[in-house]
Structure 1
Amino acid sequence: MTIFSKIIAGEIPSYKIAEDDYFFAFLDIAPLVKGHVLVIPKVEVDKVFDLDDTYLSRILIFAKPIAKALEKTMHCKRCALSVVGLEVPHAHLHLLPINEMDDTNFTRGKLQLAESEMQEIQKTITDALKG
């Protein structure tokens, strides 16, 4: 069982952004930028392109309103989408509010945000998703 499956099961706490029957989205606890969201399928598959076609297409549809909420609330030029997958053997998308190309540089240092700031970001994004 991957760490992401444990997050989905509620065994590990997370800053949940959205969830449906197939997917779960939450804030990355070691973000590249404020508002860095991970979108994961509830089915445990290692590589994103090993997802069946239904899951592969639905993950983007699930991620779209989250990306729009990030663009609306995180004071960014756009929301970038990255699929790297080396950190955890569970397919996942990174949604990154960006203002410059370096905001997508996974080799740079990660932010360390206080719990209160993570909760504030979570609330800002989830409120935007509610309308």
Structure 2
Amino acid sequence: MNDCLFCKIIKQEIPSYKIYENEYVYAFLDINPVSDGHALVIPKVHAENLTKTPDLYLVEVSKARKIVAEILQSKLNGVKGFNYISNQEAIAKQVIFHYHEHILPKFKEDEGFLHDKNVNLKYATLEDVFNEITK
């Protein structure tokens, strides 16, 4: 889709901090992180939400979530767990209508998982987090 933000990121028309990619998926750091390492995994086919995404891509997104979580766990100090979140439709707070999964590293028990509950981030910029993940 021509005006889809995530499709533009996949085509590299918009820059991103890519942390994983294969033939079917693209994973990158969220520009409005809820926690350090907050990443998104998106299919390389445009589909508005989970129920409209072809099964092959759903499987690949799921496999990529595991790979990305392992990357974040091994590279970011203090990751104790994760939230995996996907919203479907505006009523559920979906903002970008290209299916995506959030991966939120958890560093302490009382961290929220919604965008309006940001926690104190250890890293000053996304570039700092990216550099930590990719070193």
Unaligned segments of structure 1, at least 5 residues: none
1:101 shift after superposition: 5.2
What one-letter code is carried by the residue in structure 1 that aligns with 2:58?
L
Unaligned segments of structure 2, at least 5 residues: 89-93
The reply to whether residue 102 of structure 1 matches residue 105 of structure 2 is no
Contact kept in structure 2, 1:41 and 1:91, CA below 8 Å: yes
Distance 2:5 2:23 in 1: 19
Alignment partner of 2:40 out of 13, 38, 41? 38
- Over 3 Å counting, the alpha-carbon distance change for 1:65 and 1:14 in structure 2 is same
What one-letter code is carried by the residue in structure 1 that aligns with 2:25?
F
The 5 A counterparts of 1:1-40 are 1-40=3-42
The 5 A counterparts of 1:35-114 are 35-74=37-76, 75-85=78-88, 86-98=94-106, 99-100=108-109, 102-109=111-118, 114=124
Contact kept in structure 1, 2:50 and 2:58, CA below 8 Å: yes
Distance 2:18 2:9 in 1: 9
1:92 shift after superposition: 0.1
Distance 2:31 2:113 in 1: 16
Residues 35-68 of structure 1: per-residue CA shift (max 9 Å, x gap): 1001101101001222122111121112211101
TM-score by length of structure 1 reads 0.83
Runs (4 or more) in structure 1 with deviation over 3 Å come to: 109-114
Larger helix proportion of the pair: 1
Percent of pairs identical after alignment?
34
SS at match of 2:51: helix
- The count of residues paired between Structure 1 and Structure 2 equals 125
